[in-house]
Chain A
Amino acid sequence: MTAYAWLLVALPLAGAAVLLLGGKRTNAWGHLLGTAMSLGSFGVGVATLIEMLAKTAEERETIIHLWDWIVVGTFHVPVALQLDQLSISFVLLITGVGSLIHIYSIGYMAHDENRRKFFAYLNLFIAAMLVLVLANNYMLLYVGWEGVGLASYLLIGFWIHKPSAATAAKKAFVVNRVGDVGLSLAVMLMFTAFGTVTFGEVNAAAESASTQTATWIGLALLLAACGKSAQFPLQSWLLDAMEGPTPVSALIHAATMVTAGVYLIARSHAIYDIAPIAQTAVIVIGGITLIMGAIIGTAKDDIKKGLAGSTMSQIGYMILGVGLGPVGYVFALFHLITHGFFKAGMFLGAGSVMHGMHDDVNMRHYGNLRTAMKITYATFGMGFLAIIGIPPFAGFWSKDEIIRAAFSHSPLTGIVTLIGAGITAFYMTRMMAMTFFGTARWQDDVHPHESPKSMTIPMMILSIGSAFGGMLLLFVANIESWLEPVVGFEHAHGGPDSSVLIPVTLTIVAIGAMMGWVQYAKREVPLLAPTDVSIFTKAARADLYGDTFNEAVFMRPGQYLTRSLVYVDNKVVDGVVNGTAGLVGVVAAQLRRTQTGFVRSYALVMVLGVVVIGAIAAIVGMA
């Protein structure tokens, strides 16, 4: 089956092509085809995994060469897939969760007239994401990277008739371009330093590279990761991305695409291993985002935005984890997979709640839904227990390992992860309490009801993953030794022992959860958000001023420069984008005046050019 691994990408790609090119003719069965293609891809993934399991650990890495993409002189970029323990794990996560979300969307999008297009974009996303994780070189990864960005943009703006959706799509587009600059810089630096962009060769060459080179490449890759994974300071787009349909938020903006940054750093582990400065930067970014996302999560009344803040925070954990080096890679990836299960499950649960509540996202209008939506309540509850880290649910195992690894790095990083765990428990309990407990605060014409089977069955499957996935991966699949050949693994040394750490963590989680319970389940939740709140709450509600920051740092100077450009048409100029190119704009506005429109002045420039060229040639000739 390994030889047919290209089918992994080809199936969903073919699905997208048929649905997009087939037009309205495919309306009747388009969603079924899309789902079948995703399931087919999952099937190929499982078959490949079985084949891989039969081999010894050293033989598991297979490169499937498809064709030569660019061959110029000594430079060689193939289109080749790298199948190893890391990529197959991602393949199963993407196609598995992806297929469930396809099934869920059949019900969720049943009344949308553009359902076919939605499935086409979903298939496109699956294909691009698989290219991203299966590529055996950075150039092909870049293709997938841009592909998922495109699919994400199309899906955020799926309801383009809503101005907020269009704005959110635009924001995601622009912010992600900033991150992409990082990736293209990294690729160019690699090419310059190592003369190759293949993972294997780069990792081999990195061992003998200078620390300075590795640091620059590492920082450029981190910038890329920040953009795609919504890490500080490029986090602002993720909250707005919730304007997209909920299955999209579950698949792309929780389970898969936003974790691409973690994947990128884990893939480039050889570079980070010799660049301590870059590693520290990764830890700092991860730590900041971890706390920031959690704080934002505490203040949101919109259930999806609350979950988005939580996603930022959890990815912060992963980024921090991969920043720790060999003690952290495996566990960051472990957390990535368990997070994929429970966060996707909770997003689908949120979608189910919205489905029953007339698309109302305000949690202040929920309450006591456990009576009306039993399955949603149960599955969401499993995800809740998993994310706050109650044993034996999935999140406990993975988060606990990251916290331990963080303590082995330094007490400070350890404490940051602990505080994060506490806040997580608080805001998740708040969300749980406001949605499913307390008194019913439903609007008048709302009659909550359970969602159809096509929606609840994927939720149930994911909740099983949330419950047992952690144990399965840790004890049955033995994830440490599974991933070790690819990213390396060391046991954490130093720091407090687990016998101390687990009780401490659980105590902090319990305190957080208790505070949330007391405030939001025991007391009455006001229908309108209180306005006489502390400045901290205000800050959290305003996404910790992420947009204000962007505006002040990127947009304002840009707009100022723009206004000074007399010749540049204001209609043409987009403030945000132009900010980065302000200087070029000023120079350009001056330079374009050399184009006077007089043919004689053009001739004069030519003659001057001849004279200068002659002078240069004469000087060179004399030298």
Chain B
Amino acid sequence: MSSALIADITAPSVNYYMLAPILIVLGGAVLSVLVEAFYPRESRRSAQIALVLTTLVVAFLAVLNIKVDAILGFTIVNSLAIDGVSVFLQGLIILSALVGALLISENRIDPLGDAFAAQSSALPGSEDELAFTERGWYQTEIWSLFLFSVGGMLIFPIANDLLTLFVALEVMSLPLYLLVGMARRRRLLSQEAALKYFVLGAFSSAFMLYGSALVYGFANSVELGDIAKALSASAANSNLMLVGGIFILIGLLFKVGAAPFHQWTPDVYQGAPTAITAFMSAGTKVAAFGALLRVFYVALSGLAWDLSAVLWAIAIITMLVGTIIGVAQSDIKRMLAYSSIAHAGFLLLGVIAQSKAALDGSLFYLAGYAFTSLGAFAVVSLVRDASGEANHLGQWAGLGKRSPVIASVFTLFLLALAGIPLTSGFVGKFAVFAAAYEKGLAPLVVVAVIASAIAGFFYVRVIVLMFFTDASGDEVSVVVPSFATAAAITITAVVTIVLGVIPQPVFDLLSNALFLK
């Protein structure tokens, strides 16, 4: 290596206000590790919860500070882009994480404790585990992992170069792999889910990394803006760039759960502790779609024409796979997982449309979906029988008679997922479809509408099941949760309705949300 190159390196300028939300969350995560190491076990759980909630609230204030003072621009040698979209997404992720944290902190609904194994290194069903459970121990490392994951999510959608994108992806995913495998009950399923998520996640991120290498070879830079410039400068089609671009997309499409890279979703959603599923379905989806939108709008718009056929095919397959296979599900968590795949398909319309209206629509859609999904999984965690959660749809029959309030709230979430007017789901879907239609994507919109109709069927089926079918006689009950879960369900339900009735303030908020290029 020549000495000239080394001499060129100067200390990068860092704007700490821009970085504040990320630094606060990651700092909180480090503190959380220290708490884990030095705090007495008896009070560790409450200390961790207090730390996590405080961290998230302060981080949200930091995001507001960026928003209010409009501190926008690139920072750390252009590796992060703080723009209108970043601010919106970071705020959304932090709020989702707050609701997720409330759900994770729940320890009332299971007589044994919270949703996580007392000591996940102990063998399930072994004497060790029994001893840990009897002592009432809690696995408090989950909080450090949770905060690290949130930190990754905050970086992922604002990463302005491919390396940061890759690192953020891993920071976001690695803690999640572990969290997925820590369920207190049905640990075999939980561990299997973790293994599958990990193997496939690592596999897809290897594709993304290799794609980044190829793009680097083409553009001689990993910055998104430079890639766009290199694309517009080169006259001929470069196979290097095309293959690289596709490989990067694969990594991102895997995270959003688009077909044919979706198969991990139902297995992981089913196996993971429900609170983690809720958090993942909201946070990961928002972060990954944010990153996908940024990469596509900022770096790859020059490839839009080459990739359009591919993206059309992926969007159509995703919508159909999500809705059609969803119809045949008999497990409520798997059904919601397929619903999440279908929603990824709908959101891809916003990615393909490439317009300001489509961007607004997609971001609104993400906001609505994040809260609805959190709420739906929160309700799922309350319906239980003697062995844990009652996830089989048959067990949900007649729930409307026994717990009308919970059944009604769940109905609200299902209607929002189905996109019925006066819910956030309707407005989001409508905004994305209308934007796509305006850009001449009519065939895709038709498929999307048909897919919505099919999906509507399986949502309505659950409603019919809850309200019009007699209970099968299984001992299923709706557990009265602690304040945390009750608050989470209330917040998500209110947001779902408010975004459906008066969505305009959010659209106003989005009016100057653009990507910095």
Across the interface, do A74 and B438 meet the contact criterion of CB distance under 8 Å?
A: yes
Across the interface, do B503 and A173 meet the contact criterion of CB distance under 8 Å?
A: no
Q: Which of B91-99, B158-166, B259-267 contacts A (4 or more CB under 8 A)?
A: B259-267
Q: Any chain B CB within 8 A of the CB of A603? A: yes
Interface size of A as a range = 35 or more
Output the nearest chain B residue to A578 by Cβ-Cβ distance. Answer: B461
Output the nearest chain B residue to A614 by Cβ-Cβ distance. Answer: B246
**Residue numbers in A under 8 Å from B401 (CB-CB):** 160
Across the interface, do A72 and B504 meet the contact criterion of CB distance under 8 Å?
A: no
Q: Any chain A CB within 8 A of the CB of B235? A: no
**Residue numbers in A under 8 Å from B431 (CB-CB):** 70, 72
Q: Any chain A CB within 8 A of the CB of B243? A: yes
Q: In the assembly, what is the distance between CA of A69 and CA of B427, in Å?
A: 9
Across the interface, do B267 and A591 meet the contact criterion of CB distance under 8 Å?
A: no
Q: Any chain B CB within 8 A of the CB of A549? A: no
Q: Any chain B CB within 8 A of the CB of A577? A: yes
Interface size of B as a range = 35 or more
CB distance from B197 to the nearest CB of A (A): 9
* A599-B394 in contact given A609-B261, A617-B307 (Cβ < 8 Å): no
* A589-B328 in contact given A571-B394, A571-B397 (Cβ < 8 Å): yes
Contact bitstring B76-87, A, C-beta under 8 A = 1, else 0: 000000000000
**Residue numbers in A under 8 Å from B467 (CB-CB):** 170
Contact bitstring A553-572, B, C-beta under 8 A = 1, else 0: 00000000000010111011
Q: Any chain A CB within 8 A of the CB of B454? A: yes
Q: Any chain B CB within 8 A of the CB of A169? A: yes
Q: Any chain B CB within 8 A of the CB of A143? A: yes
**Residue numbers in B under 8 Å from A595 (CB-CB):** 263, 266-267, 325
- A70 contact from B207, B250, B427, B469, Cβ within 8 A: B427
Q: Any chain B CB within 8 A of the CB of A533? A: no
**Residue numbers in B under 8 Å from A565 (CB-CB):** 328
The residue in B207, B454, B467 that gathers the most chain A C-beta atoms within 10 A of its C-beta is B467
- B457 contact from A70, A571, A581, A610, Cβ within 8 A: A581
Q: In the assembly, what is the distance between CA of A68 and CA of B501, in Å?
A: 10
* A73-B503 in contact given A142-B421, A605-B263 (Cβ < 8 Å): no
- A143 contact from B196, B324, B355, B421, Cβ within 8 A: B421
Q: Any chain B CB within 8 A of the CB of A277? A: no
* A577-B430 in contact given A69-B503, A610-B246 (Cβ < 8 Å): no
* A588-B325 in contact given A139-B421, A605-B260, A614-B243 (Cβ < 8 Å): yes
- B328 contact from A73, A74, A568, Cβ within 8 A: A568
In residues 295-332 of chain B, which contact A (Cβ within 8 Å)?
Answer: 306-310, 313-314, 321, 324-330
Q: In the assembly, what is the distance between CA of A47 and CA of B437, in Å?
A: 44
Q: In the assembly, what is the distance between CA of A605 and CA of B261, in Å?
A: 7
Q: Any chain B CB within 8 A of the CB of A620? A: yes
Contact bitstring B248-282, A, C-beta under 8 A = 1, else 0: 00100010000111011011000000000000000
In residues 18-62 of chain A, which contact B (Cβ within 8 Å)?
Answer: none
Across the interface, do A592 and B503 meet the contact criterion of CB distance under 8 Å?
A: no
**Residue numbers in A under 8 Å from B313 (CB-CB):** 613, 616
Across the interface, do B461 and A599 meet the contact criterion of CB distance under 8 Å?
A: no
Q: Any chain A CB within 8 A of the CB of B237? A: yes
Q: In the assembly, what is the distance between CA of A173 and CA of B461, in Å?
A: 12
Q: Any chain B CB within 8 A of the CB of A3? A: no
Across the interface, do B465 and A68 meet the contact criterion of CB distance under 8 Å?
A: no
**Residue numbers in A under 8 Å from B329 (CB-CB):** 592
Across the interface, do A592 and B325 meet the contact criterion of CB distance under 8 Å?
A: yes
CB distance from B424 to the nearest CB of A (A): 11
Across the interface, do A592 and B328 meet the contact criterion of CB distance under 8 Å?
A: yes
Q: Any chain A CB within 8 A of the CB of B449? A: yes
Q: Any chain A CB within 8 A of the CB of B422? A: yes
Q: In the assembly, what is the distance between CA of A537 and CA of B469, in Å?
A: 34
**Residue numbers in A under 8 Å from B196 (CB-CB):** 599, 602
* A177-B460 in contact given A73-B357, A572-B393, A602-B264 (Cβ < 8 Å): yes
CB distance from A589 to the nearest CB of B (A): 5
* A143-B422 in contact given A72-B360, A606-B260, A621-B306 (Cβ < 8 Å): yes
- A599 contact from B199, B397, B430, B457, Cβ within 8 A: B199
Across the interface, do A174 and B464 meet the contact criterion of CB distance under 8 Å?
A: yes
Output the nearest chain B residue to A184 by Cβ-Cβ distance. Answer: B453
Across the interface, do B454 and A581 meet the contact criterion of CB distance under 8 Å?
A: yes
Across the interface, do A68 and B260 meet the contact criterion of CB distance under 8 Å?
A: no
Across the interface, do A73 and B465 meet the contact criterion of CB distance under 8 Å?
A: no
Q: Any chain B CB within 8 A of the CB of A587? A: yes
CB distance from A266 to the nearest CB of B (A): 22
Q: Any chain A CB within 8 A of the CB of B502? A: yes
Across the interface, do B460 and A577 meet the contact criterion of CB distance under 8 Å?
A: yes
Q: In the assembly, what is the distance between CA of A69 and CA of B307, in Å?
A: 35
**Residue numbers in A under 8 Å from B420 (CB-CB):** 146
> Chain A: interface secondary structure?
helix
* A568-B461 in contact given A72-B434, A142-B421, A613-B246 (Cβ < 8 Å): no
Q: In the assembly, what is the distance between CA of A595 and CA of B420, in Å?
A: 30
CB distance from A434 to the nearest CB of B (A): 35
Across the interface, do A606 and B507 meet the contact criterion of CB distance under 8 Å?
A: no
- B465 contact from A191, A574, A597, Cβ within 8 A: A574
Q: In the assembly, what is the distance between CA of A580 and CA of B314, in Å?
A: 27
**Residue numbers in B under 8 Å from A438 (CB-CB):** none
Across the interface, do B438 and A584 meet the contact criterion of CB distance under 8 Å?
A: no
Across the interface, do A599 and B195 meet the contact criterion of CB distance under 8 Å?
A: yes
CB distance from A5 to the nearest CB of B (A): 19
In residues 341-374 of chain B, which contact A (Cβ within 8 Å)?
Answer: 355, 357, 360-361
**Residue numbers in B under 8 Å from A569 (CB-CB):** 330, 392-394
Contact bitstring B391-417, A, C-beta under 8 A = 1, else 0: 011100100010000000000000000
Across the interface, do A188 and B261 meet the contact criterion of CB distance under 8 Å?
A: no
Across the interface, do B261 and A146 meet the contact criterion of CB distance under 8 Å?
A: no
**Residue numbers in A under 8 Å from B449 (CB-CB):** 188
Q: In the assembly, what is the distance between CA of A169 and CA of B463, in Å?
A: 13
CB distance from B206 to the nearest CB of A (A): 11
Q: Any chain B CB within 8 A of the CB of A75? A: yes
Q: Any chain A CB within 8 A of the CB of B15? A: no
Q: In the assembly, what is the distance between CA of A608 and CA of B501, in Å?
A: 43
Q: In the assembly, what is the distance between CA of A478 and CA of B215, in Å?
A: 77
Q: Any chain A CB within 8 A of the CB of B203? A: yes
Across the interface, do A617 and B242 meet the contact criterion of CB distance under 8 Å?
A: yes
In residues 453-479 of chain B, which contact A (Cβ within 8 Å)?
Answer: 453-454, 457, 460-461, 464-465, 467-469, 472
Across the interface, do A588 and B242 meet the contact criterion of CB distance under 8 Å?
A: no
Q: Any chain B CB within 8 A of the CB of A4? A: no
CB distance from A606 to the nearest CB of B (A): 5
Across the interface, do A577 and B457 meet the contact criterion of CB distance under 8 Å?
A: yes
CB distance from A414 to the nearest CB of B (A): 40
Across the interface, do A610 and B250 meet the contact criterion of CB distance under 8 Å?
A: yes
Contact bitstring A162-183, B, C-beta under 8 A = 1, else 0: 0000100110011001000100
CB distance from A522 to the nearest CB of B (A): 46
Beyond A73-B434, A75-B438: 17 further Cβ-contacts under 8 Å?
A: A67-B502, A69-B504, A72-B507, A73-B357, A146-B420, A574-B469, A584-B457, A585-B327, A595-B263, A603-B200, A609-B250, A610-B246, A614-B246, A616-B309, A616-B313, A617-B309, A621-B306
By a beta-carbon cutoff of 8 Å, the part of chain A in contact with chain B is 67-75, 139, 142-143, 146, 160, 166, 169-170, 173-174, 177, 181, 188, 191-192, 565, 567-569, 571-572, 574, 577-578, 580-581, 584-585, 587-589, 591-592, 594-595, 597, 599, 602-603, 605-606, 608-610, 612-614, 616-617, 619-621
A-B CB proximity, top 10 nearest: A609-B260, A588-B328, A170-B468, A571-B394, A602-B263, A73-B357, A588-B327, A72-B431, A569-B330, A620-B309
* 22 sample A-B contacts, Cβ–Cβ < 8 Å, listed by A number: A72-B431, A74-B438, A142-B421, A143-B421, A192-B442, A571-B472, A572-B330, A572-B465, A574-B464, A577-B457, A577-B461, A584-B327, A591-B328, A595-B263, A602-B196, A602-B263, A602-B264, A605-B260, A606-B250, A614-B243, A617-B246, A621-B237
